[in-house]
Chain A
Amino acid sequence: MKGYRGKILRVDLASGANSVTPLDPDMARDFIGGAGLACRMLYDMVDAKTDPLGPTNPILIMNGPFCGTMVPCGSKTSACSKSPLTGLWAHSTFGGHLGADIKFAGYDGIMILGQSKKPVYLFIDDSKVEIRDAKHLWGKDTQQVWETLKTETGFKNAGIARIGIAGENLVKYASIIIDHFRAAGRTGLGAVMGSKKLKAIVVNGTDRKVPVADEPKIAERSRQLNEEKKDTATFMMYSSVGTAGYVDMATDMYGSFTAGYYSVPDFSTYNIGGSAVKERILVGKTACFRCPIGCGRVIEIKEGKYATGRFAGPELEVTGTMGAQLLNNNLEALCYANKQLDLLGIDTITGGNVVAFAYYLFKQGKITAKDLDGVKPEWGEIDSALALLHKIAKREGVGNLMAEGSLAFGNKFGVGNLAAQVNGLELAQHDVRGFSGMAMTYATSPRGACHMTADMYNVQMGQGDEGFGIDSQDRFANEADLVAKFQDFRCLTNSAVMCNFYPITSNELAELLTLVTGWTYSVDDLKRAGERIFTIMRLFNLRMGYNPKNEKLPDIVLQPLKGPSEGHVPDVEAHLNKWYQYRGWDRKTGKPPKSKIKELGLSSLQSQ
C-alpha cells in the first residue's frame, strides 16, 4: 500500500498487551483515512450501550495517506471515539507533528482499548511500545506534562499528546493537547483518555520515508500548489494574522463573528482580533508538519495581572468565547484565559460557551450567585470566568454540574432550551444569522454543532468548489443543498487528513490522492467517497440512538440581529427539508434509504 503503513497499533491498557493489526486496503481506499476510516473501524466496536467513559469505548488516533509526505497541510490527524458529551460520533482533528511521528513510527493509527487501574502514559519509539507509570504526571497541567516527558524520555522532538486535570476529572468536554498547544478540542476526547487513566502518548518515529506512488511528482506538485496558493486571501490572512485575523472582517462585514448568542452583537472586537495580537504581543509563529501557512501564534505578556510569559496565542474560536461572548476586550485577559483553558485541558469552544451561559443566566436573574458558589459574573470581566473554569476542571461545587456541558447545566435550572447547543455540542462562534449555511452545518453535523464539518461561512463568502458544484449565490438564502455537498467535501479533507485552511480544490485533492496512493481517484470517486463517509457517520449515530428531532437550533440564535446580518434569520425547517431532499434520506427517521446504503457499498453494516 502506498501512502499507508498498512498497520494499526492496538494497545490494551487493561491487560498491558499490544499488537499490530493489518489495515484492510479496500477499507482504506473507500474511507481514505482519518475520521472516515476511523468511523468505519469503530462502527463495529461500539453501540448504544457502550459507556463513552467505560472500558469498552476505544479511542482511535488515525492519520491519513498524506501524513508524513510532501503534501502541504496534509499531516493533520484525527482522534476518534464515542463522545462522552453527546453520546454520538466523536472526532477531533489536530495539528502539530504527532500524526507524522505516528506515521514515521510505522503506523496509520493507534487504537487504545480498555482502562488502566493506575495513571499511565503510552511510550512509542518506532516498534518499541511501552505502557509507563504516570503517577508523577497525574494532577499536572499540560505544559508541565509536556516538558517533563520531553526530558524524561530524552526525545525533545517527540510528538506528545496529553490531558490536563479536566481530562483526569472526566470533564465531558476535556481536550487533548498536542505538541505546541494544538488541540483535539471538541467532543470530550480528553475525558475518554482520562477514563482510561491515560495521561499522555509520546511518539518518536524515525522512518521518515513514507512509501508513496510517485514521489517526484508529489514534490513538484506540492511546490506548484504552494506557489499558487500563497497569494490567496485565506493563505495570506492565516499566515499574517493567524486564524483570529478573521475576527475583524467577519464582525464588520458580515455580522457572523463573533456570535451574539448570549451577549450583545455589536461588541467591537478591534482590540482582541488577530491584528491586535500581531500589533501588540506577537513574538513568533508555529506551523504544523509540512504546513507553509503557519497560523499558530506565539505571544508574550511579560507582566501584569494577566502575564502569560511566552505561550501559544489565542486562535479564532477562543477570541469569541473568552472575548466577545463575555464582552471582554482586554487582550491580555483573553490570552491569559486561553492559556488557562489549554493548561487545564478544556475545549475552548464548549468551555467558553458554558461559562458565557453562566454569565447570561446570572445577568438574566435565572440563577443566583449562590448557584455559582458565590461567583458574581459581570459582562466585560474575566475573573469570574477563570474562577468557574478552575471549578469545572476540578469538578468542584457548581463546576461538577458545569462539567457536564451547557445543556445539562441549563436543564438543572429549567432553562436548557436557552443553551447554544445542538445534540449536546455547543455552537462554534459563527452565527447562522450572518451565514445561513451554518444553520444546517450545526443542525446536521455528525458531532453536534461543530463548524469544521462544513465551514459554510467560507463557502458563502465565495470559496466554493467547481468540481463538487458548490457555488454560493447569497449568504442569506436557503443553500442547504450546498451544505450537503460541502459536508461530503469536508468528510474528504477530514479523512485525508488535510487542514481546512489550505484552499485545496476537489480536482487537486483527487490528483494528490492518486499520486500518493497509486489508486486512481476522479472527482466523481471523491463525491462518492465523501457521501459514503458522511453516511457512515449518520449510520454510526443512528446506532447510538440518534434522534433527528434534535436537528434544531436553539431559539436564542433565531432572533434577528441589527447590523451587518440585516435582520436575517434562517428558516430551519425549510433548510432541513431541502437538505433531506438533496440527500434522499427520510426526514422523520433520519435514515438513508437501503438503496443509497447499497449504492455506497455499506450494505454489510445494515445487516448488523
Chain B
Amino acid sequence: MSEKKVDFFSEQWLKKYQEILNKNAAYKDAAKDWEGDFIFQIDADGSTVKEPARAYIDLWHGDCRKVALAAPGQKAAFEYSGPLKNWKLLLAGQIDPIKGLMARKFTLKGDMGKVMRYTKAAAELVATAVKIPTKFPDEK
C-alpha cells in the first residue's frame, strides 16, 4: 500500500523532512561542520503558485534543528529558490542541486563558496526530500 502524499512545503511535509533528515547518516557525516540556515522557496508563477512558498530549515553540524513555514521577508544565511517545475525535476532526481544552480534552474543567495564545500551534503538534502511522498501544488 502506498503512503499518503503530503503537500509540498506544508508543516506536515517539513516535519517529515526533519525526521528523515535527522536519521540520514550520510547527511550527518557530509554536513558535520555545516553551520547555516536555509530558506527554500518555490517562486510564484502567477498561476499555480500565486505567492512564493517558503520553508525555513535550520541546519547545524549535521542536524536539522528547526523547520517552519517562512514568512515573506524572513532572512536566512542561504536562500535557494526556483519555479515549481524545477522543484519537481529536483525531487524526481532528474537534476541535482548543484547542476540546478549551474543550469540556472535555481538561484542561490548566500556564500556560494561555502555551498561548494558541501556538495555531498546538498545531494543528501535532496535525497532525503525524495523519500517523502509529495503532493505538488499542481496536483489534484
Contact = CB atoms under 8 A, between A and B. Distances in A.
A515 interface: no
B58 interface: no
B103 A240 contact: no
Contact of A461 (B102, B112, B114): B102
A565 to B, nearest CB: 14
A99 to B, nearest CB: 28
A574 interface: no
Contact of B102 (A234, A239, A278): A234
Contacts of A236: 108, 112-113
Nearest to B97: A253
B103 A463 contact: yes
B101 interface: yes
Interface stretch (A185-193, A241-249, A440-448): A241-249
A275 B113 contact: yes
B116 A253 contact: no
A249 B108 contact: no
A418 to B, nearest CB: 31
Contact of A275 (B104, B105, B116): B116
Determine chain A's interface SS by DSSP, over half rule. helix
Interface in B104-119: 104-105, 107-109, 111-114, 116-117, 119
Contact of B104 (A240, A249, A274, A462): A462
A417 B109 CA distance: 47
B104 to A, nearest CB: 6
A458 B102 contact: yes
A253 B102 contact: no
Nearest to B101: A233
A411 interface: no
B69 interface: no
Given A252-B120, A253-B123, A241 B113 contact: yes
A249 B109 contact: no
A237 B103 contact: no
A248 B116 contact: yes
B92 to A, nearest CB: 14
Contact of B111 (A240, A252, A253, A464): A240
B98 interface: yes
Contacts of B125: none
A253 B103 contact: no
A550 interface: no
B70 interface: no
Number of chain A interface residues as a range: 20 to 34
Contacts of B96: 253
Contacts of A273: 116
Contacts of B105: 462
Contact of A249 (B95, B98, B114): B98
A148 interface: no
A152 interface: no
A278 B113 CA distance: 9
A303 interface: no
Nearest to B109: A231
A246 B116 CA distance: 8
B99 interface: yes
Contact of A245 (B99, B107, B116, B120): B116
A275 B117 contact: yes
B32 to A, nearest CB: 12
A153 interface: no
Contacts of B117: 248, 275
Contacts of B99: 253, 461-462
Contact of A237 (B95, B100, B112, B123): B112
Interface string A234-267: 1011011100011011001100000000000000
A236 B107 CA distance: 11
Given A240-B113, A241-B112, A233 B120 contact: no
29 contacts: A231-B109, A232-B104, A233-B98, A233-B101, A233-B102, A233-B108, A237-B116, A240-B111, A240-B112, A241-B112, A241-B113, A241-B116, A245-B116, A246-B116, A248-B116, A248-B117, A248-B119, A249-B119, A253-B96, A274-B116, A275-B114, A275-B116, A275-B117, A278-B113, A461-B103, A462-B102, A462-B104, A463-B103, A464-B103
Given A232-B104, A462-B100, A462-B104, 5 more contacts: A231-B107, A236-B113, A248-B116, A252-B123, A464-B103
By Cβ-Cβ distance, the 8 closest A-B pairs, closest first, are: A462-B103, A240-B113, A236-B112, A241-B113, A233-B101, A461-B102, A275-B117, A252-B119
Interface of A: 231-234, 236-237, 239-241, 245-246, 248-249, 252-253, 273-275, 278, 458, 461-464
Interface of B: 95-96, 98-105, 107-109, 111-114, 116-117, 119-120, 123
